[in-house]
Amino acid sequence: MQFGIFRITPLRKLSALLMASALLFSLVLHSSAGISDEKNSVPPPTQLPGQPALLVGVAWYPEQWPESRWEEDLKLMEAAHIRAVRIAEFAWSAMEPTEAYLEFEWLDRAIALAAKHHIISIVGTPTAAPPAWLTFKYPETLRVEVNGQRVQHGGRAHGSPTSPKYREFCRRIAEQMAKHYGHNPNVVGWQIDNEYGYALMSYDEGTRKQFQDWLKEKFKTVENLNAHWTAAYWSQSYDNWSEIPIPQQGANPGLMLEWKNFITYSWTSYQQTQIDAIRASAEPRQFITGNFMGWFDGFDHYGITKPLTFVSWDDYVGSGHFDPDWNGLMHDLMRGLKRENFWVIETQPSNVNWTPLNNSLNKGEVRARAWQAIAHGADYIGYWQWRSALNGQEQYHGALIGQDGQPVPVYDEVAMLGREFDQLSDALRGTRVQSEVALLHSYPSRWAIDWQKHTNRYDQGAILKSYYRVLRKQTDSLDVISPDAPLAQYRLVAAPDLNLISEATAKHLSEYVHNGGHLVLGPRSAMKDEFNALLPHTQPGFLAEALGAHVEQYYALEKNVPLAGAWGAGESSLWAERIKATAPNVEVLLRFGISNGWLDDQAAAVTRKFGKGRITYIGAVLDEKTMAAAAEWMAKDAGLTSSLTPAPAGVEISRRVANGREVYLAVNATSELKTLQLPRTMKLLLSQTEASRVELPAYGVEVISNVQH
Ligand code: GLA
């Protein structure tokens, strides 16, 4: 991991008083409505035929070790119930040591030896690390940085996604690998590239020309482009496509957005070149996935993940400890990309090596995090990595095997997890997450706000999490999805800071409300269109009519502003929007108190029944208590039927379902003992017992199902 892109929140302060809190939770059985029957009838693509439904895997790099060591490694993996290796994703120089000379024999032997130990292989295409012969002979394959310098060989992600020459080399190696492994029974699937070069681009003239051609295809005429970008401003009007630059920070917002869209297009077509090369030879049973990075927003993930069989991501805490809210939110975001189960193809077994403080996770935390991922729809947990290379840039990264080749302490914890996955695979087979609540998330909106925060403390991740934390407590699971995804299954849809809402998306959202849903919009909603231009209407743009109200003015706040109303008395931080009701049946939920004069006694949150549903607008960044009261109100209004809440603080309960069969997962994310009171005697699948009370020790986990009569 190169960038500190993951947000880290310290573990909650734990109260000793909560240690034995035994909170009753009411169990309400849901029907399987929500996931279409069609989807329910096929197993998730993340659960592989002939394999346990849940798998532990590792990133294994046989090319870094003498072959005489391999069997010892594989024996240790097998003993830990590790059932998969991801392999070869940086091994280009070992597979093609000189141009067009391929050596797959070593990899054949590694895959066969793994199979001997009942370990399947996921093969990575090695295009994140082109070999030195390639980059030296064909320097045009290397990216050019913003400052005009070509990237040097010796790191990774140095290949240019827009270089036709590099694309051709990538296609060829993927094609050769697919011809070779596309029918190998021990190869279950493919990972394309690794992390897609952190979405880095090449700032060379060829790329600029591709960008201009892409703009031409999209806008057809420069006049049209000029109009959408209001290019008359500062004499930006273009006469020819060839005048359009690659934007630097602080460029026209329309140009900035299209450059981002072009980045998405470039990496998606880079990916497609390899998908096509693999699909031409590989058996259809072999899946194709990519390795994504949670909150990372270098490109629009909804587009790039479309052609993949399923989404995988690498889940790192970095510094600090398990934050179940943030981590849960990230799993849900990744699950929402394809609205399907996913894999955690990489995660840290102890510590990373790329943050200011690379502390280890506590004993038990690795297992708890793995089970939380399963609870949120993962079916595979892959540890990065099996053993650190003796040299190379990541010598200090956590691994399962030490530099002496012996297991390190966390190996036993992973072995325990492996045993548990084997034990519980049947219970979780065919199950998915099925939610009644969704949060809407959009990459263009995120980019647009981050480019013009207006107050530098405006943190969209924190705001999304503030909604997530309180709403997740009202329900067993929550989806994080694109605003354009189907919404009919949800009783409640909340969209904090959805800044760009096109007319088409607004129509989709108002139809959802019209048909009986409850849509909650947060601050900064619907200011702009899909070209990142301000709408010629006040917020919430095309939704103002449904709301029967609009934002008269927004304010970046110097200090918190008091507010009070239906959700009690509290504060707005960072941002405040003065709302004016225009329709008679608009209910004011919150009003601002005395502050800058403009906001005094003005509406801060309003709601209105519209069609068969309801639309609410919250023009404030609410404090935790008010946000919690708002969530309770939303849950009540939407008639949410949460099965397993309230749980003791720090314990997260989730539900996976398959055709009416329900499995609940309880994860104690704290280092304190917690007690969970069940509404009746239920099956505790990990403890292999029946009980009406669950004791969860520090980082304890239980998987619970109904007793079958
Ligand atoms: C990323 C990469 C891995 C490795 C890990 C280290 O996720 O995919 O190759 O560098 O980070 O944390």
Sign of the Cα torsion 462, 464, 465, 469 reads positive
- Tell me, in angstroms, the distance from the centre of ligand 1 to residue 4's CA: 12
- Tell me, in angstroms, the distance from the centre of ligand 1 to residue 1's CA: 4
Ligand 1 neighbourhood includes 315 CB (under 6 angstroms):
no
- Tell me, in angstroms, the distance from the centre of ligand 1 to residue 107's CA: 21
Q: Whose CA is nearest to atom 5 of ligand 1?
A: 1
- Tell me, in angstroms, the distance from the centre of ligand 1 to residue 59's CA: 10
Residue keyed to tokens 């507010």:
563
Residue 38 is classified by DSSP as: H
pLDDT for 2 equals 36
Q: Whose CA is nearest to atom 11 of ligand 1?
A: 1
Ligand 1 neighbourhood includes 195 CB (under 6 angstroms):
yes
- Residues labelled catalytic: 195, 346
Q: Which of 198, 314, 345 to mutate to test the pocket of ligand 1 (most atoms within 8 A of CB)?
A: 314
Q: Whose CA is nearest to atom 12 of ligand 1?
A: 1
For the CA of 90, the nearest atom of ligand 1: 9
- Tell me, in angstroms, the distance from the centre of ligand 1 to residue 384's CA: 7
Ligand 1 neighbourhood includes 314 CB (under 6 angstroms):
yes
> What contacts 273, CB < 8 A, 6 or more positions away?
167, 170, 171, 174
For the CA of 353, the nearest atom of ligand 1: 12
pLDDT for 40 equals 72
Ligand 1 neighbourhood includes 196 CB (under 6 angstroms):
no
Q: Whose CA is nearest to atom 7 of ligand 1?
A: 1
- Tell me, in angstroms, the distance from the centre of ligand 1 to residue 568's CA: 45
Q: Which of 585, 566, 573, 577 is nearest to 540 (CA)?
A: 577
Burial of 359 (0-12, 13-18, 19+ CB in 10 A): middle
Task: Please answer whether residues 670 and 14 qualify as being in contact, where contact means their C-beta atoms are separated by less than 8 angstroms.
Answer: yes
User: How far is the C-alpha of 179 from the C-alpha of 251, rounded, in Å?
Assistant: 45
Instruction: Give yes or no for a cis peptide into 540 (omega within 30° of 0).
Output: yes
For the CA of 194, the nearest atom of ligand 1: 8
pLDDT for 3 equals 31
Ligand 1 neighbourhood includes 352 CB (under 6 angstroms):
yes
Q: Whose CA is nearest to atom 2 of ligand 1?
A: 1
User: How far is the C-alpha of 483 from the C-alpha of 505, rounded, in Å?
Assistant: 7
- Tell me, in angstroms, the distance from the centre of ligand 1 to residue 342's CA: 18
CA 596, distance to chain mean position in Å, is: 39
pTM for the whole structure: 0.94
User: How far is the C-alpha of 268 from the C-alpha of 347, rounded, in Å?
Assistant: 24
A 10 A CB-CB count for 148 gives: 8
Q: Whose CA is nearest to atom 6 of ligand 1?
A: 1
Using a CB cutoff of 8 Å and minimum separation of 24, what contacts does 48-53 make?
48/120, 48/188, 48/189, 48/287, 49/285, 51/83, 51/120, 51/188, 52/83, 52/421, 52/422, 52/425, 53/379, 53/425, 53/426, 53/428, 53/429, 53/430
Residue keyed to tokens 């030296």:
136
> What contacts 436, CB < 8 A, 6 or more positions away?
34, 475, 489, 490, 491, 492, 638, 640, 641
Q: Which of 6, 346, 386 to mutate to test the pocket of ligand 1 (most atoms within 8 A of CB)?
A: 346
The pLDDT averaged over each successive group of 10 residues in the chain (709 residues) is 31 29 32 53 95 98 98 98 98 98 98 98 98 98 97 95 98 98 98 97 98 98 98 96 94 98 98 98 98 98 98 97 97 98 98 97 98 98 97 96 97 98 98 97 98 97 98 95 98 97 98 98 98 97 98 98 98 98 97 98 98 98 98 96 78 94 97 94 97 96 89
User: How far is the C-alpha of 474 from the C-alpha of 224, rounded, in Å?
Assistant: 47
